[in-house]
């Protein structure tokens, strides 16, 4: 198969949840000398992003996304096993819902989707204080803090995180991602968060863009 | 050249803005297209889209339907709104009286602050007394309402593992099993509360925010609905939804042979009918980043399709953050009244 055919086959394998086929295509791409970054980004990763779009429309369900994510992780592990030097993970992200907010479904979806893209996820769960979230990010050497607030009454917790980050000189060193139903770009701008993500797919795109900037 | 006139309107988060008629028309068009594409339903007609623009741009602060076209109102979580939301220290029976005699509501709902069937079960005898007392002091139909709230069946609040944590960890089979067990238990709890409320003389039951924890949450509600209808065929039950489609946290659950995950309102209502529901409450998510025009057009498209499919009355949920209502603690009157008018006149809702 040509490069384009292999990339298309990788995309199709992820979208059809076919792990064996996905690994076979990965093997063929190595034989053909195609860069794994092209295969992961334009093939397998593009497939995951397509499934993310369908999930957001209610046409694909979370267990299927999880299966696709695992395929992607196993393919990435296969590529890694063939390298003499272990590749650097794209980033480390601390995730949590903010204090007072137990709505963790959206945060779980972001965790699954970001994992599929190779990010290391430190999932703090739900209802964690601003201080705890920032401390976890510092302790783990995270690149990003992602928080979700579903309620208008818990949104100010995201502002508290920004205040702690500023006070401790962490702004710019650790980037912040904010999301949740009442959250908007206007809110992110107002509290000086680095990224506003409307959904898991937006989070993937925006974090990747910031990492490559 | 004179600047084009701009109209006061809002974003989904309530943020105020001014838009030209042309900008509003474009957003109405986009909203209709989005709903039609997602729900695989018919778009609104040109006349209906134009009417939404008229409603949004009408000069009055508050919009209303014409006399004679009013619809009945049901109120979820009603008795908690004065005390919990507004901080007015009144008991629940007084709250029912306020709804009946001051707000002139068509019906009221007695609810406990926990507002979920699971925590109500152990205090059901207190709730029975509260219902009897409220019934003796009111005339309007009185619902008893709560949420299936499947999340409360997960650790540490309940006995089952949390599927929202199992799934990101790749434990799909375990996550599905936990949801199936939780749905089974939740259905029993809802029926148990219904049994006591029938005995207490409640006029109706409300299952509110159905599907909040995904398709298993919806399964619990429909299973309970079917059993309640079997036991008490004349006891009315309203089912209000949590969001515009059932999130597939399980993905394979079915009710009466139909897959629940991914169902939109025009499909949900058919399942509610099969289960025996009396009133169906469709819900359309408000997107806080989009304009009121986009959200309202989208809402009307979904609600009209649901209304056309339904053989039972539909009462769309028009509270904070749904059915184009802004995500603000106090919903602004200009947006709320315009949404109500459009949902009744274009969406053809039977009640709100």
* Position B216 pLDDT exceeds 70: yes
* Position B48 pLDDT exceeds 70: yes
Are B2 and B96 members of one domain? no
Residue numbers of the domain that contains B301: 1-59+284-352
Q: How many CA atoms lie within 13 A of A208 on its CB side?
A: 16
A62/B167 CB distance under 8 A: yes
Task: Please list every residue in chain B whose beta carbon sits closer than 8 Å to the beta carbon of residue A115.
Answer: 168
pLDDT above 70 covers a percentage of chain B that reads: 100
Do the strands B258-259 and B254-255 form a parallel or antiparallel pair, or are they unpaired? antiparallel
Lowest-pLDDT range of A60-69, B4-13, B287-296: A60-69
Separation in Å, CA B287 to CA B14, B77, B225, B320, B324: 11, 23, 30, 12, 8
b/e A188-203 (16+ beta carbons within 10 angstroms → b): beebebbbbbbbbbbb
Are B231 and B350 members of one domain? no
Are B182 and B305 members of one domain? no
Q: What contacts B295, CB < 8 A, 6 or more positions away?
A: B12, B31, B284, B286, B287, B324
How many domains are contained in chain B? 2
Are B39 and B90 members of one domain? no
Lowest-pLDDT range of A86-95, A114-123, B187-196: A86-95
Domain with residue B227: its CATH number is 3.20.20
Measured between CA atoms, the residue of chain A closest to residue B247 is: A58
A61/B289 CB distance under 8 A: no
Q: Which domains does chain A have, with CATH numbers?
A: 3-81 (1.10.1240.10), 92-212 (3.40.50.280)
Instruction: Select from A19, A61, A107, A115 the residue whose CB has the most chain B CBs within 10 Å, as the one to mutate to test that interface.
Output: A61
Measured between CA atoms, the residue of chain B closest to residue A198 is: B289
pLDDT interval class at A108 (50, 70, 90): confident
* Position A88 pLDDT exceeds 70: no
Cα(first)–Cα(last) distance of chain B, in Å?
45
Are B302 and B224 members of one domain? no
Task: Indicate the residue among B281, B300, B319 that finishes a domain.
Answer: B281
What is the number of H-type helices and E-type strands within chain A? 10, 5
Look at residue B206 and give its three-state secondary structure.
Answer: strand
Q: When comparing pLDDT for A163 and A150, which is higher? A: A163
Are B236 and B160 members of one domain? yes
Q: Which pLDDT does position B27 carry in this prediction?
A: 98
Q: Which pLDDT does position A85 carry in this prediction?
A: 64
Task: Indicate the residue among B232, B261, B281 that finishes a domain.
Answer: B281
Are B17 and B55 members of one domain? yes
* Position A45 pLDDT exceeds 80: yes
Are B139 and B250 members of one domain? yes
Are B129 and B20 members of one domain? no
* Position B83 pLDDT exceeds 90: no
Are B34 and B1 members of one domain? yes
Task: Indicate the residue among B240, B261, B281 that finishes a domain.
Answer: B281
Look at residue B332 and give its three-state secondary structure.
Answer: coil
> In this structure, what token pair is assigned to residue B343?
């949902």
Residue B184's H or E segment, with its range, is helix B172-200
* Position B345 pLDDT exceeds 80: yes
Per-residue pLDDT tens over the stretch B137-191: 999 999 999 999 999 999 989 999 998 888 888 889 999 999 999 999 999 999 9
pLDDT above 90 covers a percentage of chain A that reads: 51
Are B185 and B230 members of one domain? yes
């Amino acid at each position: 198969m040509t490069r384009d055919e292999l990339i298309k086959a990788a995309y199709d394998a992820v979208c059809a949840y076919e792990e064996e086929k996905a690994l076979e295509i990965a093997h063929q791409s190595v034989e053909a000398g195609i860069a794994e970054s092209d295969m992961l980004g334009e093939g397998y990763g593009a497939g995951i992003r397509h499934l993310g779009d369908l999930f957001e429309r209610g046409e694909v369900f979370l267990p299927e996304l999880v299966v696709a994510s695992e395929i992607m992780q196993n393919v990435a592990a296969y590529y890694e096993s063939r390298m003499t030097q272990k590749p650097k993970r794209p980033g480390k992200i601390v995730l949590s819902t903010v204090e007072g907010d137990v709505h963790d479904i959206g945060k779980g979806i972001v965790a699954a989707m970001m994992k599929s893209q190779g990010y290391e996820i430190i999932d703090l769960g739900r209802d964690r204080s601003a201080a705890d979230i920032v401390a976890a990010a510092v302790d783990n050497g995270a690149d990003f803090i992602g928080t979700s607030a579903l309620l208008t009454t818990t949104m100010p917790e995201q502002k508290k995180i920004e205040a702690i980050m500023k006070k401790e000189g962490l702004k710019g060193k650790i980037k912040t991602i904010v999301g949740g139903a009442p959250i908007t770009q206007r809110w992110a701008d107002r509290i000086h968060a680095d990224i506003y993500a409307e959904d898991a797919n937006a989070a993937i795109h925006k974090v990747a863009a910031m990492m490559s900037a | 050249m004179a600047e084009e006139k701009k109209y006061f309107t809002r974003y989904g988060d309530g943020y105020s803005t001014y838009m030209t008629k042309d900008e509003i028309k474009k957003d109405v068009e986009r909203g209709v297209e989005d709903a039609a594409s997602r729900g695989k339903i018919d778009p609104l007609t040109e006349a209906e889209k134009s009417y939404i623009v008229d409603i949004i741009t009408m000069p009055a602060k508050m919009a209303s339907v014409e006399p004679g076209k009013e619809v009945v109102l049901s109120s979820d979580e009603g008795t908690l709104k004065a005390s919990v939301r507004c901080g007015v220290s009144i008991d629940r029976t007084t709250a029912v009286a306020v709804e009946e005699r001051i707000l002139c509501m068509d019906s009221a709902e007695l609810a406990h602050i926990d507002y979920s069937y699971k925590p109500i079960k152990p205090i059901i005898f207190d709730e029975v007394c509260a219902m009897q007392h409220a019934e003796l002091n009111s005339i309007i139909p009185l619902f008893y309402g709560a949420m299936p709230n499947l999340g409360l069946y997960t650790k540490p609040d309940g006995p089952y593992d949390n599927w929202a944590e199992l799934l990101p960890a790749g434990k799909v089979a375990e996550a599905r099993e936990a949801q199936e067990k939780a749905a089974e238990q939740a259905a029993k709890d809802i029926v148990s509360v219904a049994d006591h409320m029938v005995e207490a003389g409640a006029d109706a039951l409300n299952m509110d925010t159905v599907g909040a924890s995904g398709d298993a949450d919806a399964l619990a509600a429909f299973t309970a609905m079917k059993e309640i209808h079997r036991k008490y065929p004349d006891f009315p039950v309203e089912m209000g939804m949590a969001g515009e489609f059932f999130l597939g946290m399980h993905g394979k659950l079915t009710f009466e042979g139909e897959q629940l995950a991914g169902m939109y309102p025009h499909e949900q209502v058919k399942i509610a009918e099969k289960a025996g529901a009396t009133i169906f409450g469709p819900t359309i998510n408000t997107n806080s980043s989009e304009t009121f025009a986009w959200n309202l057009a989208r809402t009307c498209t979904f609600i009209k399709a649901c209304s056309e499919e339904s053989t039972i009355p539909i009462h769309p949920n028009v509270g904070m953050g749904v059915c184009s209502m802004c995500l603000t603690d106090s919903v602004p009157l200009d947006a709320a009244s315009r949404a109500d008018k459009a949902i009744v006149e274009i969406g053809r809702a039977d009640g709100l």
